[in-house]
Structure 1
Amino acid sequence: MIRNMIYAILLGAGMAACLSQQENDEETQAETMQQEENLSPTGSTTEPAPIPEPASFVIEKGRAGDVAIGMPIDELRSNVPMGFAIRDTTLMLEEQQSTAYVLTPQDQDKGLLVEQQCEAECRVWRINVLSTDFKTPQGLGIGSKYGEVKEAYPIGTVALAEDNFVAVSEEAGMSFVLDDTQLPQDAQDRGRYNPGNIPANTLVKRIILY
């Protein structure tokens, strides 16, 4: 049962001359731009990129920002939070291809990886937090220490799941993927760990909401 539960939850001189030429080119370009602006009655029409709301980066039980477990995928795709972009990707689950969605703040390459389950309709199944910008109300996120996580949430299980060493908090609905590179890599030795003896300074490298 624990195995099923864990599964469910669970990238010098010549330079001076070049710099001098570059500075001259930049000055010339700046003068040209200024002249163009003086000729234009309205100036530049380029609008700044929208800034995401702070609430969009809050992780809590069942949701990460505006993305919630059980949300219809159609709703996810049609209501992309302000300042975010969404794109499709493909995952391999149980040797089968599955469509997932990457939601990132604009101009960033990491954010949320959203997995789906499709029955009558496709809905959000799991949310993988991949960006350090996302935090719990307690300020926990990627890069936090296991000891900090344990103080904030009860950890019921630690185990190897989908090739990840995870600490699971059923109460929080979160699975904390730990950086186990400093732990014994032998499966038998690693199996001796429990929620009480994981080194407190072990870092969190991903968070999965389920």
Structure 2
Amino acid sequence: MFRNILYAVLLGVSMAACLSQNDNETEGAEAPTLKDMPADADGAVEAPLLPEPANFVVEKGHVGDVRIGMPVEAMRQDVPMGMVIADTTLTQEGQQSTAYRLYPEGDAQGLLIEQTCAAEVCRVWRITVESPDYKTPKGIRVGSTYSEVQQAYPISSVTFEEGNLVAVAEDAGMSFILDTSQLEASKLSSFTAATLPPATLVESILVY
């Protein structure tokens, strides 16, 4: 009888050890490791492709390689490394039109590209910069203040149209759409280039 009891105890210990080992194996399988990530021929883990810095430069007539007036088909066929292009639909004055979003892989913001079409050829009409990753050669980006914009570019006018407060830098070929959340709604239509509060932030940049 004593032998039977001893056998039962040893069997219980053995089963507990097996269950513990199975639990450890399951936990280990759930945790990602470098072995699970894509690797090149030498076994090194592949880093994600990053767009070239030149793609984030905002200048008169273009943002990176996307230029005003270029054929849309050419733009779609020459997407920069590390970036994604996707179709979208805009509704303006009750009319729907096709536009395009160009952004770095893994990022939700980038460029909104509008087109104009004639004779069955569509061309880039204007570009809206929506991400702070893009900036002008003078350092202006989404999130810059109106004061910084004034120091970098002559502002020809400030207008309030279709719900947007816009500072126009005509010589630079850009308009700066401004954040109105901290401004009095009753004063939006009366602001001028001289009276707009200097701390007002840039919400997006329009290149045309």
Give me the TM-score of the superposition, normalised by structure 2. 0.79
Q: What is the identity, as a one-letter code, of the residue corresponding to 1:101?
A: Y
2:195 match: 197
Alignment deviations for residues 165-185 of structure 1 (CA, whole Å, 9 cap, x no partner): 100111011110111122221
Q: Distance in 1 between matches of 2:36 and 2:137?
A: 48
Q: Shift of the alpha carbon at 1:33?
A: 6.2
1:141 match: 141
Q: Distance in 1 between matches of 2:64 and 2:184?
A: 35
1:171 match: 171
1:47/1:34 CA distance change after superposition, 3 Å: closer
Give me the TM-score of the superposition, normalised by structure 1. 0.78
Alignment of 1:31-70 (within 5 A): 47-70=46-69
Q: Shift of the alpha carbon at 1:193?
A: 1.3
Alignment deviations for residues 51-74 of structure 1 (CA, whole Å, 9 cap, x no partner): 110010000111111111111100
Q: Distance in 1 between matches of 2:36 and 2:51?
A: 32
5+ residue gaps, structure 2: 1-23
1:15 match: none
Q: Shift of the alpha carbon at 1:190?
A: 2.6
1:51/1:26 CA distance change after superposition, 3 Å: farther
Q: What is the identity, as a one-letter code, of the residue corresponding to 1:206?
A: S
Alignment deviations for residues 85-125 of structure 1 (CA, whole Å, 9 cap, x no partner): 00000001221110000001001110000000001210000
2:90 is equivalent to residue 91 of structure 1: yes
Q: What is the identity, as a one-letter code, of the residue corresponding to 1:145?
A: T
Alignment of 1:100-115 (within 5 A): 100-115=99-114
Contact 2:165 2:188 survives alignment (8 Å) = no
1:209 match: 207
Instruction: Say how many residue pairs are matched.
Output: 181
Q: What is the identity, as a one-letter code, of the residue corresponding to 1:80?
A: V
Q: Which has the higher contact order (CA 8 A, sep 6+)?
A: 1
Q: Residue 75 of structure 1 aligns to a residue in which SS?
A: helix
Alignment deviations for residues 126-150 of structure 1 (CA, whole Å, 9 cap, x no partner): 1010111001111110000000001
Q: Residue 112 of structure 2 aligns to a residue in which SS?
A: strand
5+ residue gaps, structure 1: 1-23
